[in-house]
Chains A and B, each alone.
Chain A
Amino acid sequence: MSIKVIKEKCTGCKICVKVCPFGAIKVEHKLAVIDLNRCNLCGACVSVCKFQAIILSAPEDLGTRAPKENYRGIWVFGEQKKGIIQPVVFELLGEARRLAEDLKTDVSCVVLGYKIESQQIEELFWRGADKVYLVEAEELYHYQDEPYTEIFVELIKEYKPEILLCGATAIGRSLVSRVAVKIRTGLTADCTGLAIDPETKLLLQTRPAFGGNIMATIVCSDYRPQMATVRHKVMKELPVDKTRKGLIIRKNYDGRLLHSRTKLIDIVEEIGESVNLAEADIIVSGGRGLGRAENFKLIEELAKVLGGAVGASRAAVDSGWIAYSHQVGQTGRTVCPKIYFACGISGQIQHLIGMQSSKIIVAINKDPHAPIFNVATYGIVGDLFEIVPLLTQRFKEVLKK
């Protein structure tokens, strides 16, 4: 495996220098030079070079590692909490249906839990599943890494799905990371786009990297299943079709697979009356501009009127004004609501990384040069202490009608 620059073709244009995520390319004497100690062979420079001057030699053919033709169907992990299927599952089923059209295959949902109500399962069919693999045991009522992993591995070995999709949730990301290693297959985290390559029929998995400044499309050509976690709120669910029916395949596993070395002691729900950030269609966030903890009340009031969640910048969290679970950004949560209000947030790159994929961004800041205005759909330059309460008031009136 190697990368090299073809001297005759390179013009020293430096485009490769700019796109290299690893800072591995320099131009010396009008020729690109790649520092192999920094290069990660990602190929960003290869695809951007207009002169085809960089060649990444393909891996040697090691033969087919898994008889791929035996793998059929698209699976969705049917994440449940306390017996309730999580909304991200419906989005994944919608996406799986679209992919299944291209592959001419079927969609299955895998549900692990205990005493799941039949209406929950029926809804999976209404939302696009053809089959539901259902494994029920008391040990599976709450998520635990080990039994969920072991059972998933058994199911995959027995039924051989071609693709497995999972929500990029706290549970989903922990589970499939473990499953992928045990199965020895590829896993792409946090995808924002999925498609089937018309020629190879491979799953094209597109995801942001480097905090969303670069998009990468990733494939898993030699191993099955092709596994991806998908961000919540990115894919579209299908309209509910109550005439759709499907097949339930019940599976039982013995105690050995159900054993968990980790024990769940307690579940503490902190969200209370407000909405959780991952699920919220609207998020109202406050930053340093709020000045002190008490002023978060303004943010909370606007969020409440809009039925949204409360977010915060790192500055606000580090000042102790609000709990870390509200932090949006690189060291907090990544969110993509329909509307994101940034109030008194200047828009450091670490914050932008966590919210720039929101559909609409509203920025309220007194500094007209604040970087937040570069990403804002609508900006108001002014005093948030005047503007936010007025907005709350007006939305209250408008929404009442």
Chain B
Amino acid sequence: MEIIVCIKQVPDTTEVRIDPQTNTLQREGVASIINPFDMYALEEGIRLKEKYGGKVTVITMGPPQAEEALREAISLGSDEAILITDRALAGSDTWATSLTLAKAIEKIGRFDLIICGKQAIDGDTAQVGPGISAHLNIPQVTYVKKIEEIRILEHQSTGAPEHRAPSTHSAIVRVQRMMEEGYVVMEVPLPCLITVVKEINEPRLPSLKGKLRARNALITKWGIQDLGIDKQDVGLEGSPTRVVRVFSPPPRKGGQILQGNVQEMVEKLVELLKSEIL
């Protein structure tokens, strides 16, 4: 199976503190990590490779230092890594980002499954995964919490003429998709894209061998010219949406700590909440 995992480097919120005066994030010295949901995507990709054979290619779009995230992905078991980095991409919104990643995937060529995290913890949009599948015109399933099975129907010879399906296998994947009330079971033919939630697996830690491999691994770097992308389709120019104002949310009003013995505190709380509940 040819698996592509899309990841994003994000600030590590466990290290983020809020400045009590300005009520904004203190980001100085904050480390960058692989977006937590993407760790589940990577783990799932690596597990599928271990089970079905093949290769995991990890791609990211970001500034040059996003290379660190790719090296971490290699230390976990990814085979190849591609960094899409270009000044022209700065300010890209989800439309332009998903276009760029889709173009990179087209350049990679044949693939069976694309795995993304459900959303990134800095932007929280959950739009890039579905955006990629829309650009590539392949089916998608979002919020996948379990891959039940992959049924491989027949093996296509690698030299077969390619039409719209760049898949190396003819196969069907059966997944559980998380919904508000529970989940739905869906079947989808390869090639397709899934986005995954935390429940799908428990990511491994890098092995020593993996770490050594990551140190020396070759990271492929592509700019927009390599991908045949027009400058006016990405970055701020190419992005339909634009941020016009950024501000701090009004701080939550200081709380009231109830006083007294347990009975008194409970009584007070019931009194305070009664009108809201009734």
Residues of A at under 8 Å CB distance from B?
A: 1, 15, 17-23, 36-44, 47-48, 59-60, 62, 81, 142, 145-146, 149, 169-171, 173-174, 177-178, 180-182, 184-190, 204-205, 208-223, 260-271, 276-279, 282, 306, 324-325, 327, 330-332, 334, 338-339, 348-350, 353, 356, 359-363, 368, 373-383, 386-387, 390-391, 394-395, 398-399
CA gap between A264 and B197 in the complex, in Å: 19
Chain B hits for A327, CB < 8 A: 198
With a cutoff of 8 Å between Cβ atoms, the chain B residues found around residue A23 in the complex are 11, 27-28, 30
Can you add 19 more A-B contacts, CB < 8 Å, to A374-B255, A380-B257? Answer: A1-B237, A42-B243, A43-B244, A181-B130, A189-B123, A213-B23, A213-B249, A214-B25, A222-B240, A267-B182, A270-B181, A276-B180, A324-B145, A324-B198, A325-B178, A331-B37, A349-B16, A361-B252, A394-B266
Q: Please report the C-alpha to C-alpha distance between residue A356 and residue B183 in the assembled complex, in whole angstroms.
A: 26
Q: Is B133's CB under 8 angstroms from A263's CB?
A: no
Shortest distance between the CB of A182 and any CB in chain B (Å): 6
Stretch at the interface among B51-59, B86-94, B205-213, B221-229: B86-94
- Asked whether B106 is an interface residue with its Cβ less than 8 Å from the other chain, the reply is no
Give the CA-CA distance A338 to B274 in the complex, in Å. 12
Decide if the interface of chain A is mainly helix, strand, loop or mixed: mixed
Q: Is the CB of A59 within 8 A of B237?
A: yes
| Complex Cα gap A34–B258 (Å) | 47
Q: Do A375 and B255 have beta carbons less than 8 Å apart?
A: yes
| Nearest A residue (CB) for B121 | A330
Q: B156 at the A/B interface (Cβ < 8 Å)?
A: no
B158 at the interface (CB under 8 A from A): no
Residues of chain B with a CB closer than 8 A to A360's CB: 273, 276
Contact of A261 among B25, B126, B188, B232 (CB under 8 A): B188
Q: Tell me which of B18, B125, B256, B276 has the highest count of chain A C-beta atoms within 10 A of its own C-beta.
A: B125
21 contacts between A and B (CB under 8 A): A18-B19, A18-B24, A40-B90, A44-B243, A59-B237, A142-B184, A145-B130, A170-B143, A177-B134, A185-B95, A187-B127, A189-B125, A205-B241, A209-B124, A215-B247, A217-B243, A219-B244, A262-B186, A268-B184, A349-B18, A382-B265
Give CA–CA (A151, B248) in the complex, Å: 39
Interface residues on B, range: 35 or more
With both chains docked as a complex, state the minimum distance between the C-beta of B31 and any C-beta of chain A, in angstroms. Answer: 10
User: What's the minimum C-beta distance from B137 to chain A, rounded to whole angstroms?
Assistant: 9
Q: Does B141 contact A (CB under 8 A)?
A: yes
Q: Which of B94, B135, B236 contacts A187 (CB 8 A)?
A: B94
Q: B247 near A47 (CB under 8 angstroms)?
A: yes
A338 engages B276 (CB within 8 Å): yes
Name the distance in Å between A177's Cβ and chain B's nearest Cβ: 4
Closest partner residue, chain A, to B125 (CB atom) = A189
| A189 touching B277, Cβ below 8 Å | no
Report A-chain residues with C-beta under 8 Å of the C-beta of B126.
Answer: 173, 177, 189
Does B140 sit at the interface, judged by CB under 8 A? yes
Question: Does the CB pair B134–A181 fall under 8 Å?
Answer: yes
Q: Report whether A378 and B186 are in contact in the complex, using a CB–CB cutoff of 8 Å.
A: no
| Given A331-B37, A338-B276; A213-B24 close (CB under 8 Å) | yes
Main secondary structure of the interface of B (DSSP, over half): mixed
Pairwise interchain contact A263-B134, C-beta atoms closer than 8 A: no
A215 lies within 8 A of B198 (CB): no
> Provided the pairs A209-B122, A261-B189, A339-B273 are in contact, do residues A216 and B98 lie with their beta carbons within 8 angstroms?
no
Instruction: For residue B135, give the distance in angstroms from its CB to the closest CB of chain A.
Output: 6
Q: Which of A178, A217, A277 sits near B133, CB closer than 8 Å?
A: A178
Output the least CB separation between A305 and chain B (Å).
Answer: 10
Residues from chain B with a CB closer than 8 A to the CB of A171 are 179
Is B242 positioned at the interface, with any CB of A under 8 Å from its CB? yes
Q: Does A40 contact B91, Cβ atoms closer than 8 Å? A: yes
CB distance from A395 to the nearest CB of B (A): 6
Q: Are A376 and B246 in contact (CB under 8 A)?
A: no
Closest residue to B66 on the A side, CB-wise? A37
Interface contact A211-B27, CB-CB below 8 Å: no
Complex contact A211–B13 (CB within 8 A): yes
Question: A205–B181 Cα gap in the complex (Å)?
Answer: 28
- The answer to whether B246 touches A387 (Cβ under 8 A) is no
Contact among B27, B140, B239, B240 for A178, CB-based, below 8 A? B140
Shortest distance between the CB of B121 and any CB in chain A (Å):
6
By the criterion CB–CB under 8 Å, are A177 and B131 in contact?
A: yes
A215 and B141 CA atoms in complex are apart in Å by 29
**Contacting pair B121 A324 (CB below 8 A):** no
Q: Which residue of A lies closest to B135 (CB)?
A: A181
The distance in angstroms between the C-alpha atoms of A17 and B28, with both chains bound, is: 8
B181 near A379: Cβ-Cβ < 8 Å: no
CB < 8 Å neighbour of B277 from A174, A185, A266, A395:
A395
Q: How far is the CB of A360 from chain B (nearest CB, A)?
A: 6
Do B198 and A331 touch (CB < 8 A)? yes
* Among candidates B24, B187, B258, residue contacting A19 with C-beta atoms closer than 8 Å: B24
Q: Is B36 close to A, CB under 8 A?
A: yes
Known: A173-B126, A263-B188, A270-B182. A184 touches B240 (CB 8 A): yes
Nearest-Cβ distance from residue B33 to partner chain A, whole angstroms:
12
A174 touches B130 (CB 8 A): yes
CB distance from A232 to the nearest CB of B (A): 9
Do residues B237 and A62 form an inter-chain contact, with CB atoms below 8 A? yes
